[in-house]
Amino acid sequence: MSLFAGVVGCPTIKTVGVHLEKFAATLDGVGAVSPRYWRSSSAALVHRQRIYTAEDRSERQPLAGARSVLMFDGRLDNRDDLIEALGIGGAGIPDSALVLAALERWGDGAIARLVGPFALAWWDDGDRRLLLARDSLGHRALYHADTPDGFAFATTPRALLALPEVQRRIDEAAMAAFLVDLPLPPGSTYYKHIRQIPAAHVAVWQPNKFELRRYWQPDYSKKLQYRRDDDYVEAAREHLTRAVRSCLRTDRPIASTLSGGLDSTLVATTAARLMAPTRLMALTAIPAEGLSLPKFGKNRFVDEGRYARSTADLHNNIDLHLVVGTGVQRIETEPERMFLSTGWPVRNTLNIGWFTPMRELAEAQGIGVLLQGSGGNHTLSWDGIVGLRDAARSGRLVRLWREISHLARSRDLSFAQTMWSLALRPLLPIATPQWFDQLRRRPAPPLMNTFSIHPNFATAHQVDSGKRSHMMGAKFGGEETARREALELYQSHAQVRSGLRAIYGFDLREPLRDLRLLEFCFAVPSDQYLRNGVTRWLARRVLAGQAPPEVVSNPQRGVQCPEFLNRLLPRRAEFLATIEELERSPMARNCLDLPRLKSLAHSLPTEPAAAHYIPYAAVLERGLHAGRFIRWVEGGNG
C-alpha cells in the first residue's frame, strides 16, 4: 500500500533529479513515510510506503533484484500460494519481494498469478524495458504520460501534472462520459495528456514502443453444477470467509461499515467471527432523529440503525457506533482536497459527504483498515431478476411461470404486468416499446434530461446514443450483459478509492469484490439467486444464523443519504456563486447546461415531500461538482 512515480528514458542525470523532486513533492497523504529513490542514467524512481500490514514494515522500495527494480502498491491475497510455488521463505517477507521473485522467475506471465489489489512498475535497466500492470478489477490506480525526455508514470495524476511537459487540459470525451454515467473510453482519463493502464491489463514500454494487452477477463460461459442447493451455500461461505480473511491482514485496528442491508452485514458478521474475541468497530450512518425526509416508496427504508443494532446484538465482539450526519461536510463544499488526492471527480458526491462523519470517526480512533460491503449487488447478493429474461429466451417456461407468479404476489402486481415488465418486454426489439409509447402518446422524456450535460456537448460526443445503448443493454440484455456493464463501470471508476487513503490514512477494503469470489458468483446458476420469488436468495442463505431474520428476509433496500435535501438547501447561495464562476469558463459553458443548473438551484424545494432525487442530487449537485473539477484543472479554484 504505497505511492510511486517514475520517469524512464531520461538522457541526463540532471533531468532525472528534477523529476524526482517534483514527484516526491506530490506523493503525499496521511500515513506516507519518507520517500526512497532509485536512479540510473535512464530512469528515476521514487516510492513512499504506507504501513497497513506487518510485512509493510519490512518494505524497502524501490526494490532492486538481480537484474531489475520493482515498485508495488497493493496487497497480495494469495501469498501462501506464491511462497509455495516459488519455494522461498515466507514469514515476514514483504509483498513486493514476492512479486519481484515471481516476475524474475516467470516474466510477464507472473502478473496473471497475482491475486489482490495492486498496481506495479517493473524496470529492467539493462534492456531499458518497463512493465506496468493493474489488478483485474482496477482497485489500484496507475497513470502514464509521454514527455520529451521519455515516459512518465505514477499512481496519482497529480504527480504527472507536476511536470510542466504534461498540460492541464480536460479530455472532453471522458468528461462527456462522466456526465452521463458511462464508463470512460478504455485507457482514457479526464486529462487529455494523461492515460491510465486499464484494469486487467499490462503495458510494456521500450524506446519508440508501447504495447498494451489484457491478461484477464471473466468467463461468463462457465456455470457450476452442484448436486444440492446447500452445496452452493457452503461454497459461497468458503469464498466469503477467504475474501474477508484476506482483508483482515493488518497489524492495525479494524473497523467495518454495518448498514441494515445484506452486503455490509455479510462482511461485518464474517469479520467478527474471524476476529473473535478481538473486538470489531462497526459504523452505521443514520439521519438525525426527527428530521423530515422525502418519501422513498414501500420498497426502501431509511432507518439503518435498528437493523444494524439487531445484528450487532447477536455478536459479542461488535462495538456498534451509530453516526449521525452533522450537516454539510467540508469535502462537499471544498472538493479540491479530493481532486488533489484522487485526481478525479466523484460519481456520487452526496454519499461522500454522507459517509464523511463515519470515516472521520474511524480516523480519530486510529483505524488502519475499514471494511465495506460495496460490490455485493453484482456478486454474492445478485438479485437474479435479470435471469428471467434468459429463462424466457431459452424456453425454461416452468421456472419462468413459477417465479413470475411469486414475484407478482410479493409486489402486489398482476401476473400479466409482472410477466410483461420482467420477461416479455425485454424480448422485443429495442425500438418496439418506444413505438408503443409513441402510439399511446406517451413519448419518453429526452434522455439527457436526467443529466447536467449541455445538449450540444452530448451531441458532439454522441453520448446520447451511447447512454441509450448502455441503458437498453441493462433493460433488455440477459445476465451476461448486465454483469459485463456493471463490471466495466466499476473498473472505469474504481481508482477513486485509492485517493481516499491519502485523505483518511486508512485502507478501504471490499471483500465482496474479491476476484475469486467474483468468479465464483459469476459461475453460480441463476436459480440460486432467485427462487420462489425470493431475490438475493444465495446471500440470504449464506447470512442465515449470523443476522436476525428481520435483516436476512427483509425485501427492502436501505437509502443512502436520505436527507439529501437537508444537505442541499443550505448550499443554495454557494451553488449560485459557483454557477456564476462557471459561466466565466468556456470549458464549463461548453460541457454543462448552466441555465438548467441555475434554474434548479433557484427552485430547490423547502419541503422534503416535494423533493425528487434525480433533478437536485444527480443533476444539480453532481453537475456543479463536475464544474468545480473543470475549474480546478484549469487552475481556477486553487
Binding-site positions for L-glutamine read: 95
Residue 539 near residue 512 (C-beta atoms within 8 A): no
Task: Please state, in angstroms and rounded to a whole number, the distance separating the CA atoms of residues 531 and 199.
Answer: 34
Place of cell 510511486: 4
Place of cell 514476492: 98
- Angle (CA) 331-170-592 rounded to 5° is 70
> 3-state SS string over 528-592?
HCEECCEECHHHHHHHECCECHHHHCCCCEECCCCCHHHHHHHHHHHHHHHHHHHCCCHHHHHHE
Residue 88, SS3 per DSSP: coil
The dihedrals phi and psi of 119, each to the nearest 5 degrees, come to: -140, 140
Strand partners, 129: 124
Q: How far is CA 370 from CA 244, 288, 307, 620, 636, in A?
A: 12, 23, 20, 30, 34
The dihedrals phi and psi of 592, each to the nearest 5 degrees, come to: -110, 145
Which residues does the annotation place in the binding site? 95
C-alpha cell, 587: 470549458
Concatenate the DSSP letters of all residues of 352-391 into one string: HHHHHHHHHHHHHTT-SEEE--TTGGGTTT---TTHHHHH
- Angle (CA) 305-309-310 rounded to 5° is 120
> Residue 365: how many CA atoms within 13 Å on its side-chain side?
21
CA pseudo-torsion sign 182, 183, 189, 192: negative
Cα dihedral 188, 193, 196, 197, rounded to 10, equals 100
